[in-house]
Amino acid sequence: MPIVDTDIKNKIIAHDRAVPRYTSYPAAPVFQAGFPAETVTNWVDVLPQNSNLSLYVHIPFCPKLCHYCGCFTHITSRYAPVEDYVHLVRREIASMGRRMQNKHIVTHLHFGGGSPTMLVEQDFRLLMDTFREFFTFSDQAEIAVEVDPRHMTESLAMTYAQVGVNRISLGVQDFDDKVMQAVNRVQDFDVVYSAVNHLRAAGICEFNLDFIYGLPYQTVRSLTRSMDYALLLKPDRLALYGYAHVPWKKKNMRLIPDEALPDNGARYDLFMTGSQVLEESGYRPIGIDHFVRDHDDMAQAQDSGTLGRNFQGYTNIAPDALIGFGVSAISQYPQGYAQNTTASHDYQEAVLHGDAPPIAKGYAFKGEDIARKAIIEGLMCNLQVNVKSIWEQYTLDPERLQECTSLLSSYIAEGLVSLDQDGLLVIPKAARQIVRIIASCFDEYLPPIETAKRHSMAI
């Protein structure tokens, strides 16, 4: 069993509720439908020359559905829809590239999904060629791909290396047979081991492993063993995500029997278990779910106070804008967010017949949004933030801040957070799992508890 402070554990569990994961503020359910594409094109046009850009491209296809999956994806055994999609995304990239006139510098490109590894090598090269034709990449640009280890081959790894991919995130989830069978994802250690070897042999050495705690039939013992296996692969980073169970939104999650899911006390123990194994092996915790080696860029970003959070989770790269391509992709500009349509037909129509981005939803920052965003991001990244200095920086009404901090009183009384005279809010390391709940005290748009079925539980 992990070493757990039972008092803190019980207090945290008692506060568990459904809150956002705060990969954005406001959270995506607050974005407005029918947001005008012209507003977004205007945001693009006023981005200053030489701004740093992060690019994201969403590949919404997988050959087989994992029952826990919360990502936006379609299951297909045929390649034709993937090929058609690549054609559309290349048009979208070209259209945005023409609008941006090569005035900016790309410091980060991320292929996410779904499964980008569904793309045949020729299509992956075509996408990379299109990005390079329309955008200028910095020499040190990070080019990252989310990899399903079951798809990795020696040849695919070579292709990735040849086109400049230098970071990989491998979806592992767990190594336990019973757990993986229950979620429809049978994937032996050997499969992951050989994927890592192919990538390392091709010269791609920076890699992250994704794990999930809270999956059906997971136990402290099984997760400890899985973490031990993970350590054999010597990843630079490891993510240990809390399983976000939202069966009212994602039908595939209904295939997981409720009685097989760990309750919130067991989830707490599972996270503590993973955390302890990793920390004892020299990994440093970052935010709510990442663990990295000391030499890693993310550890250095944490030390220098530049760690950020975006739709892909934590990032050591702080771009001026994030531009998303493909269905459901979200972009972030200094003025707000824009989300592409999730409807394939609408996406196709917009990309083939218009020159505005295929937007379905968006959000323009207003009022106290930017200050609240800075507070929430500070908490999610560093577990501490000076709320008063951020509020003063934006010359906002102190009474409005008082309304938020008054929500903290029970957490302060229980020792789960402290707030000093100068406005420094600190969550002790032992209470790390309360972070999303403390952050939600600064969320102006949080729905009341009884209508909170938008989000997963916090613990």
Ligand X SMILES: C[S@@+](CC[C@H](N)C(=O)[O-])C[C@H]1O[C@@H](n2cnc3c(N)ncnc32)[C@H](O)[C@@H]1O
- Does 296 contact ligand SF4 by CB under 6 A? no
Dist CA 83 CA 93 (whole Å): 16
Number of neighbouring beta carbons within 10 Å of residue 28: 18
- Does 71 contact ligand SF4 by CB under 6 A? yes
Residue 65 contact, options ligand SF4, ligand X, none, Cβ 5-8 Å cut-off depending on partner type: ligand SF4
- Does 115 contact ligand SF4 by CB under 6 A? yes
- Does 70 contact ligand X by CB under 6 A? yes
Dist CA 12 CA 204 (whole Å): 40
User: How many residues make up the chain in this entry?
Assistant: 459
For ligand SF4, the closer CB: 55 or 212: 212
- Does 114 contact ligand SF4 by CB under 6 A? yes
Site pattern 159..198 for ligand SF4 (x: CB under 6 A): ------------x---------------------------
232: exposed, middle or buried (C-beta count within 10 Å: 0-12, 13-18, 19+)?
A: exposed
Site size for ligand X (CB under 6 A): 18
C-alpha 191: how far from chain center: 24
- Does 256 contact ligand SF4 by CB under 6 A? no
- Does 446 contact ligand SF4 by CB under 6 A? no
What letter would DSSP give residue 18? B
Closest CA to 225 of 175, 267, 187: 175
For ligand SF4, the closer CB: 58 or 436: 58
- Does 318 contact ligand SF4 by CB under 6 A? no
Looking at 24, 73, 302, 331, which residue binds ligand SF4 (CB under 6 A)? 73
What is the torsion angle, in degrees rounded to the nearest 10, for the CA atoms of residue 297, residue 301, residue 306 and residue 307?
80
- State the residue for tokens 């992956």: 124
Closest CA to 123 of 413, 131, 245: 131
Site pattern 51..70 for ligand SF4 (x: CB under 6 A): -----------x--xx--x-
Q: Give the SS3 label for residue 105.
A: strand
Looking at 31, 61, 68, 124, which residue binds ligand X (CB under 6 A)? 68
Q: Is the peptide bond before 415 cis (omega within 30 degrees of 0)?
A: no
Up-side HSE of residue 113: CA atoms within 13 Å toward CB? 26
**Stretch of 67-75, 220-228, 267-275, 375-383 contacting ligand X, by CB under 6 A:** 67-75
Q: Can you give the binding site for ligand SF4, defined by CB under 6 A? A: 62, 65-66, 69, 71, 73, 113-115, 148, 171
Q: Can you give the binding site for ligand X, defined by CB under 6 A? A: 62, 68-71, 112-115, 146, 148, 171, 173, 210, 212, 241, 243-244
